[in-house]
Amino acid sequence: MSMGMRELSGEKVNYEGGIGRFELLKGAVAWRWHSPSGKPKFSFHLCGLASLREALALSRNTMSILESITRTEDYDAVIDITPSLPAGRAVGIRHFCAMDPGREDGSTGKRRFMVSAFYPGVLDRDAPRARLVDLLYPRVDDALELLARESGLGETDKGFAFEHLKTLALRAQRGLALQGSAARPVLIHYPGGQSHRMSNAAVCEALASRGFVVLALDAPRDAPAVVFPDGCMVTPPAPDDENHIWPRIADVRFLLDQLEEMSAAFFDGCLDPGRVGMFGHSRGGYLSNICAVEDSRIRAAANMDGFLWGIWTQHGTGLNEFSPEFVQRARSLATPILRLKSDPGSEEKAQLRFEEESCDFGGDFILVALHGWEHRDFATTPWLSGAAADFAGNVRHPVAPAARVELLTGLLADFFGTYLMGLRTQMAMLDEGDVGMDVFFRCDMPAGP
């Protein structure tokens, strides 16, 4: 395979702020902050994406990789937004553009979507950290300007907000080699509606550190902004008649079709297509359920506080809004389902929910209602999510508490570890212990070690 490489230019721009002065190098994405006296105080690289390596394409040009090759001179101003990884472990990250030549899309021509892969990496303390704004490359500034258009921030405050956002860093590192040669179970993560593929980066990192390869998706007109390697940027709103279920299901199934080729080209053949799970928040949650019904390659699915079937109904679960054939497939489905719910108000309400929803599935079904949790608590990096008017508030609260991340990760790792990795003694979540949650289940797994 051939590689193409393009260096970005280094045009210098001054930004006058209320305190001191910012000196930005466009393209090379480096900047210095000067004190009011004019003396340079510190300098660092914001995004570090100094080069673009495209063209590593799979057969039929269906998947291409966007690699980050960086200079890492100074990270003094990095702001961590995801919890530390366990000692001695590392997580790598790579970004891909998927194109399905068999489908048309009003925004991208042939249907395209972005995928970020989190994977267990070989420890390398010198490898550059990923930045949250990497998902907006190569149009970071344009995308931020668009996202902030209804924020009400003045130009000075907006400029400071942008530079703050560019310092937010993940624990995942760019360019790490995959750790080991063992076959790895794969988890597909689909974010909530109007959220981006990094909206649960902390959970994706934590799951990768435990041995999973996590593939997080962005869909055109669903995420607040999807930026492709060629600079094409797609934003909402979607057309009034756009279906929010089936095109996204087709994206996931297309990704599953490419999994073996993707594994061979980029992951040393270590992705195990026989051990695939899917999880998501809100819209991503009900898409996980539906994908499990539609595609037997999904061996376990977790719905984090989404409608059960993507349809709000005053009575019932919404399953009867689907075709009789779909209803029959769902009710005979043997794929295990994990249902994480925000606080329903009482244990009795949680039990009623379980009794109603468990009837929609034929296999193992587990419902966990988390005390005190709200819908938004299932996303761990919310700043790019929701309406543009939320931009200013989300800048101030870009990260979830570590305890929440730990609980979410523990529940998901417990579930997928049991059903994809054969760790049948790890269903500790069936024992509520001291955690504030109500657990209901219909399965033959043991309740705890």
Does the residue 16 lie in any domain?
no
Q: Is residue 25 part of a domain?
A: no
Output b/e per residue, 335-353; b: 16+ Cβ within 10 A: bbbbbbbbbbeeeeebeeb
Domain assignment present for residue 1? The answer is no
Q: Is 10 inside a domain boundary?
A: no
pLDDT at 400 over 90: no
The answer to the question of residue 139 being in a domain is: yes
In a domain, 260, yes or no: yes
pTM over 0.85: no
Q: What tens digit of pLDDT does each residue of 328-369 get? A: 999 999 999 999 999 999 999 999 999 999 999 999 999 999
Each residue's pLDDT tens digit, 296-331: 999 999 999 999 999 888 788 999 999 999 999 999
* The pairing of beta strand 168-174 with beta strand 21-27: unpaired
Distances in whole angstroms, Cα of residue 40 to Cα of each of 12, 70, 194, 361: 15, 23, 39, 62
Domain count, the chain: 1
What CATH number does residue 148 fall under?
3.40.50.1820
pLDDT digits (tens, 9 = 90+) for 85-117: 999 999 999 999 999 999 999 899 999 999 999
Instruction: Answer whether residue 173 is part of any domain.
Output: yes
Confirm whether 335 is domain-assigned.
yes
| Full domain range(s) for residue 354 | 56-442
Least confident interval from 8-22, 283-297, 397-411? 8-22
